[in-house]
Structure 1
Amino acid sequence: METVRFGEVLDRVKKALDSTMAFWIQHSHDEDHGGFFTCLGCDGTLYDDLKYIWLQGRQVWMYCRLYCELPRFHKPEIIDAALKGGDFILKHAQVFPPEPKCAFVTTRDGRPGSVQRTLFSEAFVVMGLSELGRATGLLHYTKAAWKLMKHIVHWVRIDSSGLGKPALSGSVRHSAMAVPMILLCLIEQLEKSTNKDSGAPDTSTDGVGHGMEEDHGLDLRELGQWCEDQILLHVQRDGKAVLEHVSPEGAELSGSFGRLQNPGHAMEAGWFLLLRAAQRGDSAMIHKTMSSFVLGPLESGWDEKYGGLFYFLDVDGHSPTQLEWCMKLWWPHCEALVALLTAYMHERKPELLDRFFMVFDYTMSHFPDKKHGEWFGYLDRQGQQTHDFKGGPFKGCFHVPRALYLCETMLEQLLEELGPSA
């Protein structure tokens, strides 16, 4: 029975990935200036030609990861588009060269439009350029990624003034889970890009990645442990809640800011932690992560009345101050799919599989656009579409194809393990 269901789900996942990528390949390439359009309407029509740097980095990463990992995407047009995206980033992302701070958004031809006082544009530039270096063997992309990574670590752990965010007298000292979480994602990326057995095409003859960690004074193992420790500070209420913000020492903060939960975010952190724990064979960490970061957020975040994951919750049951708290967004469901299937890969418990199929059935019946491809991103609580665009400032070629690619890989492994006679 499992073999049949896995096969059905795998077929739908592969078709959805192919449809999603076809949408972006057809509609998002800027042949004049390089890079990608992300403000695309339902049918791919361009409704704004602004370019968001974090989405440029994400799309470069996505193209290169599929190019490296799935043979059907190993095509010249995919890597050529990724190269043009990487070159757009190198030429236009930095606002005040040689300072490393990146723009949040640029004009079509690359003139900076605004800057955010966060590190997320920079983080996704690191992801994209690192994977581009892995896919092509071109050292200058890899070097640029490591150089920017060093600045990010400096901002996080030593001096955040480079982000342009002053410490105000009334501001709350806090740890945001998003910061160690994105760093953990970058560590996995940099580790993969320096591993010559990582599955990338063997295009390099110049020692790409070797010595980069030492050259930039980064100890990825120590940094990874720090990130894990920081993420675990957000597990509160005797392990029953993951809070978005805690004090730097790991204490719960007062007010709605301190009570905020994002179930999809917690589950995303969960599958990052599961992968790292599995690498070192840490069964205790796997079990703890599964309870606190996968099953707990799904149980508290699932809408029993209408289905789907709430966007935000207040841990004490108050109405969250975010007006969109009860909406159903594409990316938390993507993260839930990956987290649940990753959990099942490491602990073959039937309830994990049941919950994966529950999220999968809701997701595939509500978000995909059967007519034009790709997914809608925003639904109301009842599951009705509220916005018809496929991309914008926050949604691009990333969460949907990443989740589908990861699920495809895991489902194929499960089917191989079960065998044809299972």
Structure 2
Amino acid sequence: MHKTGHLAEEAPVWYEIVRNCLLNDILSFWKERTADYEYGGYITSFDREGNCTGKEKNIWLQARQVWMFATIYSRVEKDPVWLELAKRGRDYLVSHACAGNGRWYYLLDENGTVQQGTISLYTDMFVLMALSAYAEASGLMEDKIVIQETFDSLYQNVRNDNCRDTFPQEFQEGVVSHGRYMICLNAVACAREYLDGNKADELIRFCMDRIFGVLGYGEDGTIYEARTLQGGYIDSEEGHRINPGHIFESMWFVLEQAERVGRLEYEERALHTIMATFQRSRDEIYGGILHMLSDNGTDEQYK
């Protein structure tokens, strides 16, 4: 692995800066107002001043907050408030959002009535992460069966190129999307200890092979957001789109898991992809990283 010199020495300082910002700025906002004491779960829509702007329940967002609060409790701060908040979301998921057979609804209204059903594999992935993180934080195994059922449905659907439940992306026959495999890598890794490890690793390998074998391009470190099943170009906005944030996340997940699942050759490729993406996506005017850019190197259409 590459050494980072002075950055390694500064890591403890940066850890405290980030931890303080996370706990006392970002999470304090949500801790004070996200619990829905009337209908259960979380309120997730606010303006910048903290005023509620909507009470519908997007299960994708509900699940991400369960994961967040449970992970904060497990790995950052053993404050029982975080575990209580995680339980609130977990209870709502299993009582209102489960469609059965390892599938999860996408959107409910504030009363819990289904508005949009099992239209998104991403929702299933985030619920898998949420319930696994809550199991780790609470030490309770009450959700083990539903975790396994959710994984089993993903095992079938992620590998099925004809699965149409790709919302918010429009299903396109013969087209594969980076997001599906990137999120699946992390979701399965989060849940692995509650699953058949061999089957979990098989799905992780499949996702890595799709990322590098279909969505990756040549030696220049490009990972496209969408390609044909044969790895060909798609002449559309999405087909030319490079999403640096997705690439960094994806390569992070690859680096965490490649050796364990027998894809050690992907480690160097992931490191190369990270550096190539960083060089390509640096904002030379304002600093930081560009949100999106085209494969021609410009970000004009995303400003």
Q: TM-score, normalised by structure 1?
A: 0.63
Does the CA contact (< 8 Å) of 2:280 and 2:297 recur in 1? no
Question: Runs of 5+ in structure 2 lacking a partner?
Answer: 1-5
Rounded Cα–Cα distance in structure 2 between residues aligned with 1:78 and 1:307: 34
1:79 aligns with 2:62: no
1:127-175 deviations in Å (ceiling 9; x for gaps):
101111222233232221221121122122247457399xx9x945111
Count how many residue pairs are aligned between Structure 1 and Structure 2. Answer: 294
2:189 maps to a residue whose letter is E
Provide runs of 4+ in structure 1 moved above 4 Å. 1-4, 159-162, 278-284, 317-320
1:62 alignment counterpart: 68
Does the CA contact (< 8 Å) of 1:134 and 1:142 recur in 2? no
Classify 1:90/1:160 alpha carbon distance in 2 versus 1 (closer, same or farther; 3 Å): farther
**Secondary structure of the structure 2 residue equivalent to 1:43:** coil
2:179 maps to a residue whose letter is A
2:174 alignment counterpart: 173
2:15 maps to a residue whose letter is L
Shift, 1:16, TM fit: 0.6
Shift, 1:313, TM fit: 1.6
**Secondary structure of the structure 2 residue equivalent to 1:249:** coil
Classify 1:59/1:11 alpha carbon distance in 2 versus 1 (closer, same or farther; 3 Å): same
1:6 aligns with 2:28: no
**Secondary structure of the structure 2 residue equivalent to 1:6:** helix
Does the CA contact (< 8 Å) of 2:174 and 2:228 recur in 1? yes
**Secondary structure of the structure 2 residue equivalent to 1:288:** helix
Superposed CA RMSD in Å reads 2.8
Rounded Cα–Cα distance in structure 2 between residues aligned with 1:22 and 1:99: 36
In the TM superposition, 1:51-130 aligns within 5 A as: 51-70=57-76, 73-94=77-98, 97-98=99-100, 100-115=102-117, 117-130=119-132
Does the CA contact (< 8 Å) of 1:53 and 1:105 recur in 2? yes
Does the CA contact (< 8 Å) of 1:27 and 1:45 recur in 2? no
Classify 1:138/1:10 alpha carbon distance in 2 versus 1 (closer, same or farther; 3 Å): closer
Rounded Cα–Cα distance in structure 2 between residues aligned with 1:306 and 1:313: 15
Rounded Cα–Cα distance in structure 1 between residues aligned with 2:111 and 2:23: 29
Question: Runs of 5+ in structure 1 lacking a partner?
Answer: 195-208, 327-422
1:372-393 deviations in Å (ceiling 9; x for gaps):
xxxxxxxxxxxxxxxxxxxxxx
2:196 to 206, 209, 213: 213
Rounded Cα–Cα distance in structure 2 between residues aligned with 1:258 and 1:272: 23
**Secondary structure of the structure 1 residue equivalent to 2:104:** coil
**Secondary structure of the structure 1 residue equivalent to 2:296:** coil
Does the CA contact (< 8 Å) of 2:70 and 2:134 recur in 1? yes
* Structure exhibiting the larger radius of gyration computed from Cα positions: 1
Classify 1:157/1:29 alpha carbon distance in 2 versus 1 (closer, same or farther; 3 Å): same
1:303 alignment counterpart: 283
Does the CA contact (< 8 Å) of 1:101 and 1:162 recur in 2? no
Does the CA contact (< 8 Å) of 1:54 and 1:124 recur in 2? yes
Rounded Cα–Cα distance in structure 2 between residues aligned with 1:104 and 1:120: 9
**Secondary structure of the structure 2 residue equivalent to 1:140:** coil
1:143 alignment counterpart: 145
1:235 alignment counterpart: 216
Rounded Cα–Cα distance in structure 2 between residues aligned with 1:240 and 1:76: 43
The sequence identity of aligned pairs, in percent, is 23
2:255 alignment counterpart: 274
Does the CA contact (< 8 Å) of 2:201 and 2:261 recur in 1? no
1:329-366 deviations in Å (ceiling 9; x for gaps):
xxxxxxxxxxxxxxxxxxxxxxxxxxxxxxxxxxxxxx
Shift, 1:184, TM fit: 0.8
1:18 alignment counterpart: 23
1:175-196 deviations in Å (ceiling 9; x for gaps):
11111111111121112xx2xx
Q: TM-score, normalised by structure 2?
A: 0.86
